[in-house]
């Protein structure tokens, strides 16, 4: 397992802990306090220390590029769904003309969550594909 895969696993584990923490805190303290669970993702800041001396080859760079593109597109899709879903719920169902200000920050966080989680999963999947292709 190379450094990029280790960083991806760290990202998947920390993001999963954040999401579980959010849903545990949500019924107890409400949506504003529950977003504090995403502070656990700060642990992922130490991912840069994993494999610092390792030089990526062309295959590693290609996998990282494709995973970043997948994360960016999934993040964009989540952001659009979050914005349009908020619009649909607030205006169509509740017939209100204002959006709660904390919803905007939550939508932005949703985009970041989806980006990093999708990128990490894509890295693991793409490395898995290359291992299967090498063994065939």
Query: In which domain, by residue range, is 64 found?
Result: 3-135
pLDDT computed for residue 132 by the predictor: 58
Question: What is the tally of structural domains in the chain?
Answer: 1
Number of CB atoms found within 10 A of residue 35's CB: 19
Which residues fall within 8 angstroms of residue 7, CB to CB, at 6 or more apart?
A: 47, 50, 51, 120, 123
pLDDT computed for residue 68 by the predictor: 96
Show the low-confidence residues of the chain (pLDDT under 50): none
pLDDT computed for residue 135 by the predictor: 60
pLDDT computed for residue 12 by the predictor: 94
């Amino acid at each position: 397992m190379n450094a990029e895969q280790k960083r991806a696993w760290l990202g998947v584990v920390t993001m999963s802990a954040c999401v579980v923490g959010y849903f545990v805190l949500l019924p107890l303290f409400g949506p504003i306090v529950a977003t504090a669970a995403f502070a656990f993702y700060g642990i992922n800041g130490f991912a840069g220390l994993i494999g610092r001396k390792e030089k990526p080859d062309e295959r590693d760079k290609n996998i990282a590029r494709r995973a970043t593109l997948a994360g960016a597109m999934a993040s964009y899709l989540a952001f659009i769904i979050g914005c349009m879903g908020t619009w649909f719920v607030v205006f169509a169902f509740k017939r209100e003309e204002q959006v709660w200000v904390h919803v905007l920050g939550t939508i932005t966080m949703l985009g970041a969550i989806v980006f990093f989680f999708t990128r990490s999963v894509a890295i693991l999947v793409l490395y898995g594909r290359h291992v299967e292709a090498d063994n065939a």
